[in-house]
Amino acid sequence: MTPGYHNVSVVRPLKWGVTVGRGEHSGYTRGSRRLSPGRWPLWSLPGPVLGYLLTVETLAVLAIACTIRLPVTGTHWLWFGLLLLGSTVHLEAVSGIDRIRDLAEGSVHLLSVWLFAGVLLLPPPLLCLLIVLGYVHSWGRVYRFRALAHRKVFSIATLVLGSLAAYWVLHEVSSGTEPFAAALDGPVGLLAVIAAGIVYWMINYGLVVAAIVMTNGDRPVRASLGPATDQLMLAGAMGMGSGVAVVMIARPWWTPLLIVTVLALHTGLLMPQFRDASRSDAKTGLFDAVFWAKLVGDELDRSRRLGGTTAVLLLDLDHFKRVNDEYGHLAGDMVLRGVADALKRAVRGHDRVGRYGGEEFAIVLPGLGIEDMASAAERVRAAVSGLSVPVFDLDRVERVVSGLTASVGAAVFPVHGADRTAILVAADAALYDAKTAGRDCTRLAGETRLRFPSHYPDQVS
């Protein structure tokens, strides 16, 4: 392993708590190790983080203790059972999906459908029980109990605090008339539910973001906020939860319809993400090599049918190993991402950029012949050499990587080959030529020189 991989916090910046347990590279613990309290990764957290976690958890326990004696009726138990059924079926149905995505937080956002309905229907003791059971279920089904326990306990604490605060808001506005989903109507009711939703969200999100920021001190706060779409998903889940609560009071027998609706929406939301994820390279966001090759095949078929041309560029960064050696592999990865973005900017919207291998990129440019392709190849090469990418080096100091160069091999269908394999082989051979010609240049298949770098004047044709 290279030194660059030691700072796990940069690899997985948003997985708080994962980053600080010494030796806990993946965030998972195994077997009996985690059962022994003395060896809990929790104790290896830095003092301030540990103090923060324990404070939030103590507050949650106090909040539960203050509300545990509030009365619970038979109807409450019925609603509790229905909400638990909803969250259980929901999680069972999507646990496989979420495990694959390794984004189980997503499922927890959607569990908020049932939890927020609980805020509108249940007294605090049952609300807390619903949160704990839902979370333990998700921990078991999605993570198979392998995620760090202290993270899960902290998440439960934030949800308990958020839910009880939202409950308190509704309780105050309705002057204690329950269930809130029936008592709160009209514009005031609407505003009360929105206010409760905001309180639920702010407490939850704020407490978790603070934990991420504390454990990733070297990262900009913005990076700890997570994707905005997650927050949108949570807002949608709370809106849906309000609907669930009203339906459960007015038409309890319609509840299964809502379970099906939530499941269908969840799956519908995830499928496009899956499709994109299966096509793209995680490190750069470009098309992966397999899908890119399929796109090339499609373009060649179209060109064949219409009698047109299609150009293919293969690009290999020059001496990229030196970047890794000097700045570390994580910085190297950031540079790859920067190059990927620059390549996308350098070509037209319908040109397809893929990551062919480690630091090799591939671009298919439909409709381009030899002349146009030469300028496109040059634009692409220049985009790399003009690039400056901010990175963190091995000492976590911010540096700027510039002066990168790339060698480009180009081939045009049908001039240099009659099918995909022939075109790719021709472009690869041209790339090899560009490397042997001194790098930082573009070569066309068939030995045609397009450009040589100014520092190799003897090779300019």
For residue 329, state whether it binds ligand GH3 (rule: CB under 6 A): yes
Among 167-175, 226-234, 313-321, 366-374, the segment contacting ligand GH3 (CB under 6 A)? 313-321
Among 240, 317, 368, 389, binds ligand GH3 (CB under 6 A): 317
159-178 residues near ligand GH3, rule: CB under 6 A: none
**Residue 279 touches which of ligand GH3, Mg ion, none (Cβ within 5-8 Å per kind):** none
DSSP 3-state of 413: strand
Query: What gap in Å lies between CA 427 and CA 412, rounded to an integer?
Result: 8
Beta strands (DSSP E) in 320-456 are 352-357, 360-366, 389-392, 398-401, 406-413, 442-444, 448-451
Tell the residue number behind the tokens 């509790």, with chain if given: 80
Determine if the peptide bond prior to 123 is cis (ω within 30°): no
CB atoms within 10 A of CB 52: 18
For residue 379, state whether it binds ligand GH3 (rule: CB under 6 A): no
DSSP 3-state of 448: strand
For residue 404, state whether it binds ligand GH3 (rule: CB under 6 A): no
* Minimum CB distance to ligand GH3, residue 405 (Å): 8
* Structure tokens, 407: 């060698």
Residue (321 or 350) nearer to Mg ion, CB: 321
Among 135, 320, 361, 392, binds Mg ion (CB under 5 A): 320
* Minimum CB distance to Mg ion, residue 21 (Å): 35
* Minimum CB distance to ligand GH3, residue 459 (Å): 16
> Residue 228, class by beta-carbon neighbours within 10 Å (0-12 exposed, 13-18 middle, 19+ buried)?
exposed
Among 11-19, 150-158, 234-242, 326-334, the segment contacting ligand GH3 (CB under 6 A)? 326-334
Q: Under a CB-based contact definition with an 8 Å cutoff, are residues 200 and 119 in contact?
A: yes
Among 3, 358, 386, 390, binds ligand GH3 (CB under 6 A): 358
Instruction: Mark 151-186 as b/e (b = at least 16 C-beta within 10 Å).
Output: bbbbbbbbbbbbbbbbbebbbebbeeebbbbbbbee
* Minimum CB distance to ligand GH3, residue 291 (Å): 18
Residue 438 contacts by C-beta under 8 Å, 6 or more apart in sequence?
Answer: 452, 453, 455, 456, 459
Residue (336 or 376) nearer to Mg ion, CB: 336
Residue 441 contacts by C-beta under 8 Å, 6 or more apart in sequence?
Answer: 381, 407, 408, 434, 450, 451, 452, 453, 456
Residue (6 or 329) nearer to ligand GH3, CB: 329
Among 294, 344, 379, 439, binds ligand GH3 (CB under 6 A): 439
Query: What gap in Å lies between CA 196 and CA 147, rounded to an integer?
Result: 30
Query: What gap in Å lies between CA 214 and CA 20, rounded to an integer?
Result: 10
Among 320, 356, 361, 452, binds ligand GH3 (CB under 6 A): 320
Residue (172 or 326) nearer to Mg ion, CB: 326
* Minimum CB distance to Mg ion, residue 317 (Å): 5
Give the interface size with Mg ion as a residue count (CB under 5 A): 4
DSSP 3-state of 417: coil
359-388 residues near Mg ion, rule: CB under 5 A: 360
**Residue 98 touches which of ligand GH3, Mg ion, none (Cβ within 5-8 Å per kind):** none
Among 316, 351, 428, 433, binds Mg ion (CB under 5 A): 316
271-300 residues near ligand GH3, rule: CB under 6 A: 283
* Minimum CB distance to ligand GH3, residue 329 (Å): 4
Nearest alpha carbon to residue 54 among 150, 128, 137: 150
* CA 390 to mean position of chain CA atoms: 21
Among 11-19, 53-61, 324-332, 364-372, the segment contacting ligand GH3 (CB under 6 A)? 324-332
The residue ranges that bind Mg ion (CB under 5 A) are 316-317, 320, 360
The residue ranges that bind ligand GH3 (CB under 6 A) are 283, 316-321, 324, 329, 332-333, 336, 358-359, 435, 439
